[in-house]
Each structure stands twice: as C-alpha cells, then as structure tokens.
Amino acid sequence: MNIEKIRADFPILSSFVYDKPLVYLDNGATTQKPRCVVEELENIYYTTNANVHRGVHYLSQRATDLAEEARVTVQHFINAEHSREIVFTKGTTESINLVAHSFCSQFCNKGDEIIISEMEHHANIVSWQLQESIRGITLKVIPINDKGELDLEEMKKLISPKTRLISIMHVSNVLGTINPIEDIIEIAHRNDIPVLVDAAQSVQHMEIDVQKLDCDFLVFSGHKIYGPNGVGVLYGKEKWLNQMPPYQGGGEMISQVSFKGTTFNELPFKFEAGTPDYPGVIALGTAINYIKKIGLDSIKVYEDELLQYCTDKLMQIEGIRIFGTSDKKSSVVSFLVGNIHHYDMGMLLDKMGIAVRTGHHCAQPLMDVLGIEGTVRASIAFYNTKEDIDRLVDGVKRVVAMFG
Ligand code: PLP
C-alpha cells in the first residue's frame, strides 16, 4: 500500500478545514471519491451522454454497452453467477425496500415472520416495519451480547415454521462487529429460509463471494465504496428474483404494455423502471476497478492495523467507553468519554479539522439496547493514516481537558 500515492488520488484529502489539514474519519457515512471516478462521470457527460437501452443511435448504444460492462464488473466483484442477478438501485436503502416489498408480496402472508437483529440500520428495520403494517407480517429481533455480537443461540430459538427471511447486516455501522454470516446462512438454509446480507459496511473492506457465502440477497451502496452517490446494488439469486414481482412500474421494466394488461421484461430490467443513473453506474464500475487494483486483501490488512492502533490509543484515555468490543471487527470505533455529550465532542473535533460522526447513526433501537442516545464514531478507510489517528486521539484528549 503506497498511501501517499493513494492519497494523491483523492484531492479532497489535501484540503483544509478551519485552516487545519482535514482528517476525514467519517467513511462509514460516505467515502471520498478518487479522481478517476469523478473524471469518469465528467467524461460520460461530455462524450457519451444518451439514454440507455432505448436508442438505436451510436451514443445510446455506447452508453448502454458501458453500463452493462459495469454490471459485469459488479458481478465479478462479488462473484455472482450471472450478471442478470445484479440490479442497479439508488443504494442500500432502496435495495432493501425493493426486496421487502417484492419478496413479501410474493411470499408472505399475515402472521409470517422476518428475522432481523438489534444492531440493524434503520434501512433494515423500517423497510420491514412497512410490510408489518401493509401485510401483517411480524418482525423478530436477534439480541446482542455485551461485546456487541449476535446471539446465534437466541437466533435459532426465533426461527419458526413461519419464518420467511432473515435479513442481517454483515458489519455493524456502529459497533464494527463482523457478523458470522456464514453460520447464519448455514443455519437459515438448514431451515429452508433465505438470507439477505446488508453489505453496506463490508463490501469496501473485505472480499465477498456471494456464491461461496450462498446468500440469497446482498445489498450495498456505491457512495460507501468510493463510487458516486445515488447508485447502489441489489444482488439476488436468479431463482428468487424470477419469482418476485416488479417493485416499480414504468419504462424499461416492461415487455409489452396494453390497456388490457402488461407483461414484464426479463431480469434484471424487470426491477429497473425508468431511466437509471447510468453515468453513476458506469462510474461505480470505475470505483470497483480502482479498489481491485489496490486489492481488498491489502486493504483489509492495512485497515485492521489502523483499527487496532486507533482502539489501543483511544483506550488509554481515562473514562472512555468503546461500544463494540468483539474480536471480529472492521473499520469502526464508536465511543463516549465520561459525561461529554457526543455532539459536543463532534463539534469540537470538527473545529480542529477532524470529521467524525456523532449521534445514533440511524440505529436508534441499538442505542436503546446500549442505554445511550448516541456515540462519537470514527470510521476508517484505506487512505487514512496513523497520523490521522494521532490527530483524532490528541483532539479527543484536548476536548477532555476542556471539560476538565
Ligand atoms: N445499512 C448500513 C449497515 C449502513 O451503514 C447504511 C448507511 O450508513 C445503510 C444501510 C443505508 O445506506 P444508504 O443510505 O446508502 O442507502
């Protein structure tokens, strides 16, 4: 990992905030974009802008080819069997909503159950709660232990003949816990239950092979993986996607439309109604190729080292509480110090040029379980350095000193 060279690919990392060099540790919320991704977007708009899948003219064909190449890039990135199993969406949230709506309308009746966990992001809670009110399904929730790990024995007890799906985050955006999704999938499949993996916080940090995992659905967002905002991915096994009805109606998702009735397009277009963000899709492919060049194996080793360094240094601060102490963690440290409000800590760090996240991190039920309102969260990317961590730790110490 040549960090200096990598950082040069991200112009924003050399910027100043309040006259201080920026330390960006809010990568769990969104990652910065390398020059090649921004240039790809510009290039598409300047040279290849035309609606995809519609025109016979050169530009439309070219834009279509590039967008479909990006689909194959995503397919190979997560090792899906077919490119038609890759559906482009707006992001993780839309991908989960798509599955919740479409899967439940096909497979769930009143009283059927979906299992999630206490640590889920709101996207993987509220999407299902909407189905609770529309279809009368019931949500069951896997508890966590003191280290912020899922209790799989409890999960086994929650499974019943009425369980239709288990929907679980791979890595917690608050605790950093890497959940044992291999075990969860194995247990679920033994009971003929499909599994959705929310990979919003994992796909940018570790290799994912959907065929090896044998997950039924996997979702992630482009903007958290160094790609553009407003584009995301739903991977679904063909056997499920084929049985599921469309999520939205409109152009491209149809085969034939008449006032007597409409037939739908084949996969994946059945789920891609309307003009997609094809420049975003193409630039997502560019972001993935950029990450692949660095190598997820190297990224993981480097980020794990930074995470350990950050945890060790923060632990030396008197009165600090770190939320999420599992042995299997990735890239996130959530903490509070003494009685200092997370918001005060975040505001004061910001004035020192250090960007961290504060609040409930879209995981209010988890905050309730932890008995807190929010945390300060530092989340790491491969362009961060030990100097960034030192600046964070010094900043936290200064805030502690200010509060006496
Ligand atoms: N799931 C997890 C685990 C997340 O961390 C996030 C965002 O932080 C989401 C879902 C929602 O992602 P998006 O807002 O990109 O749709």
Rg (C-alpha) for the chain, rounded Å, is 22
DSSP state letter for 245: P
DSSP state letter for 164: E
119 CA distance to ligand 1 centroid (A)? 13
- Residue 85, Cα to own-chain centre: how many angstroms? 18
372 CA distance to ligand 1 centroid (A)? 21
The ligand 1 atom at the shortest distance from the C-alpha of residue 361 is 8
Q: Are 383 and 32 in contact (CB under 8 A)?
A: yes
Region 128-138 average pLDDT: 96
Measure the CA–CA gap between 133 and 131, rounded to whole angstroms. Answer: 5
pLDDT in the model for residue 14: 97
Choose, from 36, 108, 215, 362, the residue flagged as catalytic.
362
- Model confidence pLDDT, tens digit, residues 50-63: 999 878 999 999 99
Which runs of E-coded beta strand occur in 60-183? 86-89, 113-117, 138-142, 163-169
Q: Which residues of 172-211 are buried (b: 16+ CB within 10 A; e: fewer)?
A: bbbbbbbbbbeebbebbeeeebbbbbbbbbbbbbbebebe
CA atoms 266, 273, 94, 44: torsion sign: positive
Q: Helices 58-77 and 278-294, interaxial angle, to 10°?
A: 40
Fold of 38-292: Aspartate Aminotransferase; domain 2 (3.40.640)
Share of the chain above pLDDT 70, in %: 100
204 CA distance to ligand 1 centroid (A)? 13
pLDDT in the model for residue 53: 85
Measure the CA–CA gap between 179 and 7, rounded to whole angstroms. Answer: 30
Question: Which of 93, 122, 125, 366 for mutating ligand 1's site (highest number of atoms within 8 Å of CB)?
Answer: 93
pLDDT in the model for residue 207: 97
Per the listing, tokens 């009746």 go with: 109
201 CA distance to ligand 1 centroid (A)? 8
pLDDT in the model for residue 404: 79
Measure the CA–CA gap between 131 and 231, rounded to whole angstroms. Answer: 24
- Model confidence pLDDT, tens digit, residues 267-277: 999 999 999 99
Residues of the chain with CATH 3.90.1150.10: 3-25+295-402
101 CA distance to ligand 1 centroid (A)? 18
Measure the CA–CA gap between 208 and 199, rounded to whole angstroms. Answer: 9
Query: Which amino acid residue places its CA nearest to atom 12 of ligand 1?
Result: 92
pLDDT in the model for residue 1: 82
The ligand 1 atom at the shortest distance from the C-alpha of residue 94 is 16
- For residue 310, indicate whether it is catalytic: no
- Model confidence pLDDT, tens digit, residues 320-369: 999 999 999 999 999 999 999 999 999 999 999 999 999 999 999 999 99
pLDDT in the model for residue 83: 98
pLDDT in the model for residue 39: 98
98 CA distance to ligand 1 centroid (A)? 14
- Model confidence pLDDT, tens digit, residues 216-265: 999 999 999 999 999 999 999 999 999 999 999 998 898 999 999 999 99
Please say whether the structural domain 3-25+295-402 has been given the CATH code 1.20.1050.40: no
Question: Which of 27, 88, 89, 92 for mutating ligand 1's site (highest number of atoms within 8 Å of CB)?
Answer: 92
Region 155-159 average pLDDT: 98
CA angle, residues 334, 339, 345, in degrees to nearest 5? 55
The ligand 1 atom at the shortest distance from the C-alpha of residue 92 is 16
- The amino acid sitting at 242 is N
Question: Which of 90, 173, 174 for mutating ligand 1's site (highest number of atoms within 8 Å of CB)?
Answer: 173
Q: Is the CB of 101 under 6 A from ligand 1?
A: no
What is this structure's pTM?
Answer: 0.98
Two tokens at 225?
């993986």
Q: Which DSSP string do the residues of 337-398 spell out, in sequence order?
A: ETT--HHHHHHHHHHTTEE-EEE-TT-HHHHHHHT-S-EEEEE--TT--HHHHHHHHHHHHH
Q: Is the CB of 93 under 6 A from ligand 1?
A: yes
* Residue 153 exposed, middle or buried by CB count within 10 Å (0-12, 13-18, 19+): exposed
- Model confidence pLDDT, tens digit, residues 55-111: 899 999 999 999 999 999 999 999 999 999 999 999 999 999 999 999 999 999 999
Task: Answer yes or no: is pLDDT of 184 > 80.
Answer: yes
pLDDT in the model for residue 55: 80
319 CA distance to ligand 1 centroid (A)? 30
Q: Is the CB of 221 under 6 A from ligand 1?
A: yes
Q: Is the CB of 85 under 6 A from ligand 1?
A: no
Measure the CA–CA gap between 262 and 245, rounded to whole angstroms. Answer: 12
- The amino acid sitting at 159 is I
Q: Are 67 and 278 in contact (CB under 8 A)?
A: yes
286 CA distance to ligand 1 centroid (A)? 21
Residues of the chain with CATH 3.40.640.10: 38-292
The ligand 1 atom at the shortest distance from the C-alpha of residue 171 is 3
Region 380-391 average pLDDT: 98
- Model confidence pLDDT, tens digit, residues 270-299: 999 999 999 999 999 999 999 999 999 999
**Closest by alpha carbon to 135, among 164, 96, 156?**
164
- The amino acid sitting at 104 is C
Across the chain, mean pLDDT equals 97
pLDDT in the model for residue 252: 86
Please measure the distance between the N-terminal and C-terminal CA atoms of the chain and give it in whole angstroms: 40
Question: Which of 201, 208, 332, 364 for mutating ligand 1's site (highest number of atoms within 8 Å of CB)?
Answer: 201
Q: Is the CB of 115 under 6 A from ligand 1?
A: no
Q: Is the CB of 200 under 6 A from ligand 1?
A: yes
3-state secondary structure of 52: coil
